[in-house]
Structure 1
Amino acid sequence: MSLALALCLDALFGEPKWLWNRFPHPAVLMGRAIGWIDENVNKGTMRKLRGAVAFSVIGCLALVLGAALQALSGHIIDVILAAILLAQRSLVDHVKDVANGARLSLQEGRRMVGRIVGRDTSQMDNPAIARAAIESAAENFGDGVVAPAFWFAIGGLPGLLLYKVTNTADSMIGYRTPRHAEFGWAAARFDDLLNWVPARLTAALIALSHFDFGGWHEIRKDAQLHRSPNAGWPEAAMARVLGVALSGPRSYEGQMQTFPFVNVSGRKDIGPDAVDASVAVLWRAWILLLGGAVLIAIL
């Protein structure tokens, strides 16, 4: 029942600013540690080996810390820590901010979506803003809610902390840039491994929460269009239940990238209403996830 309680706490309270303005969030502490490793270890020769060893060390420390916290703390503390590392409420709030901003002005929509995506936003029109927000909603529901919940259910706090530090490392050093292509290789590949089941579970939750029982073949086909082995699954499911086309061309660091559309026959001329609809999808899928957590606890 710990997972169900943690999901509810996160959904009710999210990330209270009064708390995290006074104390660093655990994810921030993880980011600082990984940043220090990147600055001090990512140099010289054999960077792939250096990155693999450094990531192995930080992963082991996450397991040990999780096991110690689980052994020393009470059941209530486990639930609170798990709730802190889930991100349903903060995710839907950020996605809603994009819709609200786009209704005010194009510039405000660009500013809001720039808070949740890494692509260039300065030249986005309203459909591009909406697609970016919806894609972020789908992908982050997978790696910010479903995957942490999955690994907490499987491995308790050690499993949850290992997943979170891996996902944080992937988001910081897992890119195929000249600096991180080798050093971040181990973190990126392990993140792919840890997200393999949760990504497909996320797609199933999105589809089943909308009674789409026959679309798995189409979701799988569209998921294979994505450059990531995992992120395409929730994105493909989200595109299908909303009836919109996602992905497509976008710009990174001033360079236009031509990516194929996911659910290419879906609507492309979309705006804030479609973003709001994606928030509703997140809540329906979350309810199904919560129901699954309760059922597992009962059984």
Structure 2
Amino acid sequence: MRPPHQRFTWAGAAGLLGGAVLDRLVPDPRRGHPVALFGASAARLERALHADSRPRGAAFTALAVLPVAALGALAQARTRGAGRAALTAAATWAVLGGAMLGREAEGVAAALEAGDLDEARRRLPRLCGRDPRVLDEKGIARAAVESVAENTSDAVVAPLLWGGLLGVPGLLAYRAANTLDAMVGHRSPRYARFGWAAARLDDVLNWAPARLTAALTALAAPAAGGSARAALRVAVRDGHRHPSPNAGRCEAAFAGALGLRLGGRNVYGTRVEHRPELGEGRRPEPGDIRRAVRLARAVNGLAALTAAACAALVPGTRAPLGAGSAR
């Protein structure tokens, strides 16, 4: 008989794979999604604790993330076998956003392909925070491709990797931290200091997943008619030029895999950023959004397999103290 700790790790692996499948098959509810409920609670906590202070922001981040991780650990400790697999699958479905990302990007692509620039501008804010009013067709296509690249890591690879390494607590804690970064981690007068801890935590948690995303993008490049060698070359050459320590790796890998040139001028309301160019191909066109989605879906599948392998193998490399051979 296989030792109990090994049975549990295989249950976690099965749950991660099952949750990834559920993300593709079961649409997110319009109301009452667990991540949305967490965001509403975190917003109330933020209003109660906010001050122009890094220590207050760090306290807010800890008070929002640690209870979620503890809840996940408690639930995981109370399940075994099929129950553990079901719990992990449900948590994985709740935290993944790959299917929604693909649908939203394809919606933008469909609007551009139909020549409906107004509709494409209306839909773009569901993908990224850029001001769509100043973007033409190619600007919207670039924004969509870059969003798919970055969010493939944030919405899929990162939660799966932390789920593979730490189980349900890893899934929930990562999604909580990433949600806080989206809420308060941006540079604005209100959050420049208060959101510092949330932004730095998100950077730390996404460091390894972003680089894994770049590697998986190279492996998946042929699925979108791209080059694995170009994906790796551009990721290594250009990834560090991006202002984000993590997003640049993903965007550069996608640029190389798809033969595109990303980066340039971005407008966020009254704020303008000039991003370094990544890649050496042409500028994205509407059809490239669908290619990026196809590439992202291939990366998602590889990420699910990688996470399942971590769940099955990493915890089982050391038996519990005092454990002997199975009888």
Query: How far does the alpha carbon of each residue in 1:161-206 deviate from its partner, in whole angstroms, 9 at most, with x for none?
Result: 1111110111110112111111111111011000000000011111
Give the aligned length: 290
Report the TM-score when normalising by structure 1: 0.91
2:93 equivalent to 1:83: yes
RMSD: 1.8
Structure 1 pair 51–153 and aligned structure 2 pair: CA distance change class (3 A): same
2:131 equivalent to 1:120: yes
Over 6 Å off, 4+ runs: none
2:20 equivalent to 1:7: yes
How far apart are 1:297 and its partner, in Å? Answer: 6.0
Match of 1:190 among 201, 225, 240: 201
Q: Distance in 2 between matches of 1:216 and 1:103?
A: 30
Query: How far does the alpha carbon of each residue in 1:128-174 deviate from its partner, in whole angstroms, 9 at most, with x for none?
Result: 00000011101111010000001111111111111111101111101
How far apart are 1:79 and its partner, in Å? Answer: 1.1
Query: How far does the alpha carbon of each residue in 1:180-234 deviate from its partner, in whole angstroms, 9 at most, with x for none?
Result: 1111111110110000000000111111112614653431221112111001111
Aligned residue for 1:152?
Answer: 163
**Could you say what secondary structure the match of 2:126 adopts?**
coil
Of 65-74 and 149-158, more deviation after overlay is shown by: 65-74
Correspondence list, 1:44-63, <5 A: 47-63=53-69
Q: Distance in 2 between matches of 1:297 and 1:37?
A: 33
**Could you say what secondary structure the match of 2:234 adopts?**
helix
Q: Distance in 2 between matches of 1:60 and 1:133?
A: 33
Aligned residue for 1:235?
Answer: 251
Aligned residue for 1:252?
Answer: 268
Match of 1:26 among 9, 34, 54: 34
2:153 equivalent to 1:142: yes
Percent identity, aligned pairs only? 37
2:303 equivalent to 1:281: no
Q: Distance in 2 between matches of 1:231 and 1:215?
A: 14
Conservation of the 8 A alpha-carbon contact between 2:68 and 2:169 = yes
Report the TM-score when normalising by structure 2: 0.84
Q: Distance in 2 between matches of 1:255 and 1:188?
A: 19
**Could you say what secondary structure the match of 2:272 adopts?**
strand
Structure 1 pair 158–295 and aligned structure 2 pair: CA distance change class (3 A): closer
Structure 1 pair 102–160 and aligned structure 2 pair: CA distance change class (3 A): same
Conservation of the 8 A alpha-carbon contact between 1:199 and 1:233 = yes
Conservation of the 8 A alpha-carbon contact between 2:91 and 2:172 = no
Which is greater in Rg?
2
Aligned residue for 2:322?
Answer: none
Of 126-135 and 31-40, more deviation after overlay is shown by: 31-40
How far apart are 1:67 and its partner, in Å? Answer: 1.1
Q: Distance in 2 between matches of 1:243 and 1:260?
A: 17
How far apart are 1:289 and its partner, in Å? Answer: 2.1
2:241 equivalent to 1:225: yes
**Could you say what secondary structure the match of 2:267 adopts?**
strand
Of 73-82 and 213-222, more deviation after overlay is shown by: 213-222
**Could you say what secondary structure the match of 2:304 adopts?**
helix
How far apart are 1:266 and its partner, in Å? Answer: 1.2
Match of 2:76 among 70, 75, 78: 70
Q: Which runs of 5+ in 1 are unaligned?
A: none
Structure 1 pair 298–55 and aligned structure 2 pair: CA distance change class (3 A): closer
**Could you say what secondary structure the match of 1:224 adopts?**
helix
Q: Distance in 1 between matches of 2:62 and 2:191?
A: 16
Q: Which runs of 5+ in 2 are unaligned?
A: 1-13, 222-226, 314-327
Q: Distance in 1 between matches of 2:310 and 2:73?
A: 22
Conservation of the 8 A alpha-carbon contact between 1:14 and 1:88 = no
The one-letter code matched in structure 2 to 1:145 is: V
Q: Distance in 2 between matches of 1:41 and 1:298?
A: 40
Conservation of the 8 A alpha-carbon contact between 2:146 and 2:251 = yes
Q: Distance in 1 between matches of 2:46 and 2:307?
A: 37
